[in-house]
A and B are shown apart, each in its own frame.
Chain A
Amino acid sequence: MARFFVLNWGILLILVAWEGWVAANDFNPIVMPSPQGVFMDMISNPGIYVENTSVTLFVAAVGLAGGLAVGTGLAILTWSSPLLSGIVSPTAVLFSSVPVVSLIPIIARILGYNMATEIAIVVIITFFPSFVFTTAGLRDLPHGSQDLFSVLGASRRATLRRLALPAAVPNMAIALRLAAAHAILAAMIAEFLMGTTGLGYLFAVTKQEFLTERAFGTSVVATAISVAAFLATSLLERRIRARFT
């Protein structure tokens, strides 16, 4: 019990403040529902929530896998060619400091309003952390190991497989943790803007129809899956770090 409080006092504080704030202002549930009302809506309509959550999770997961694959692939490509690295890296760094969410409307306009576009958006947004962190990891080799490999006459390919890639794994885990949270957020914003499917769509529709309790329920579910993704990937990162360093 004490342990529960030590871990979760912040979340309990949010819930108590929320409930107290709604009660003190006597808000109409259409304006601002109470945590109780939101919870009731969630347990009485599980079907709607489960359906849209699985769509969003699908989009986020497929997009995340694609983004990590493309990011890692390009990082390996630039690792094997210093010239290519010199050409591509500054542009990639430039992009990683641009507000990528503002690109979502452009991508939506170019590719059309459908689920493939949502996945493409998640790929593009999760690509950047993956590329930046994997590139850094491939270069951050244990001191002297590079010399050992060249003295023993290892080919470039063998060096990549046996030295650089294993050395980059902890960094890839960091990229996964950062990108997983981005993936769910990006999927939701894309769904919200295009009004196609999933939690973002559910949020947009229920807000317009003044089903505020459901809109908040959608946010609670989205927060919960983001936190779960964050905790799971943090745990994975710690495991991988312990195994590879």
Chain B
Amino acid sequence: MPGASSRLIAIACGTAGLAGFFALWQVIGHYQLAGLSWPPLTAVLQYLFDPDRHALFLRAIDATLRSTIAGYLIGALTGIGLASIAYTLPMLQRGSDRFAAVVNSIPSIALGPIFLILISREATPAGVASIHVFFIVYVSMNSGLASTSQAHEDLFSALGSSRLKRFLRLNFPSAVPAIASGLRLSWPAALIGAIIGEWFGAPRGIGILIINSMQNFQINLLWSAVLLAAMASLFFFGMLTLVERAAYRRFR
């Protein structure tokens, strides 16, 4: 089977690439080629998995994930909601596109202080995360809605279906794969939003660890916190990739 063997070669190459990346990290850290701020990978892992610090890291990642998930859900629902409204009321479409683009262009460090006053210190990370997710989901749903096949559109019109019914039975289902892609791509953006939101005085979280260790020159802590954030991002990203594949199989 040529397919299976070429797949095996691809996996071998990919693994070699990753191993090379980690080896490079280790060597640069070990010989201090990039100065004291680049520790070897083993030192970072040792620091991260030290039983004494389990409580610290667990508390931080727990807080950050809670904010990220809350912001993710709020942002996704808002994005889907606004895209649906704009599609069913076409006169709003161009204005809502611009509205979404402007909201997304507000720099996240400026969103922090606004949410601080609007809601609370604890809820600011979720707020900033939701804005990032909102835009990505809104844009992907728009392009998904635009991909509805014209023949189906004509059939629904010919059979005299109402606009709402056509949206629910035809347009929305055709947009599901694009929405699933948007949901996958917006997860790292949500995590970034939560981390930036935490810089504005959240009581705990990965963002707090990152900013404090940067300012206090705690290099191992800084790298551990970033590595933890990266692992959390990859885990959920992988899960969402599976969801996306299922959506493509079912709705295409």
Contact = CB atoms under 8 A, between A and B. Distances in A.
Interface stretch (A45-53, A103-111, A151-159): A103-111
Interface string A84-107: 001111110010011111110110
B230 A8 contact: no
A196 interface: no
B101 interface: yes
Interface in A17-49: 27, 31-32
B35 A110 contact: yes
A96 to B, nearest CB: 8
Interface residues of A, number: 53
B146 interface: no
B17 interface: yes
Contacts of B35: 110
A5 B237 CA distance: 39
A189 B108 contact: yes
Contacts of B226: 102-103, 105-106
A181 B105 contact: yes
B17 A88 contact: yes
A87 B13 contact: yes
A94 B95 contact: no
Contacts of A226: 105-107
B210 interface: yes
B233 A97 contact: yes
Interface stretch (A68-76, A134-142, A164-172, A215-223): A215-223
A133 to B, nearest CB: 13
Contacts of A86: 9-10, 13-14, 17
Closest A-B pairs by Cβ, 10 of them:
A10-B99, A86-B13, A219-B110, A226-B105, A90-B14, A87-B17, A105-B214, A109-B37, A9-B95, A98-B230
Interface of A: 5-11, 13-14, 27, 31-32, 83, 86-91, 94, 97-103, 105-106, 108-110, 181, 184-185, 188-189, 192-193, 199-200, 203, 207, 215-216, 218-219, 222-223, 226-227, 230-231
11 contacts: A8-B98, A86-B17, A99-B195, A102-B226, A106-B222, A109-B222, A110-B37, A188-B109, A193-B211, A203-B109, A227-B101
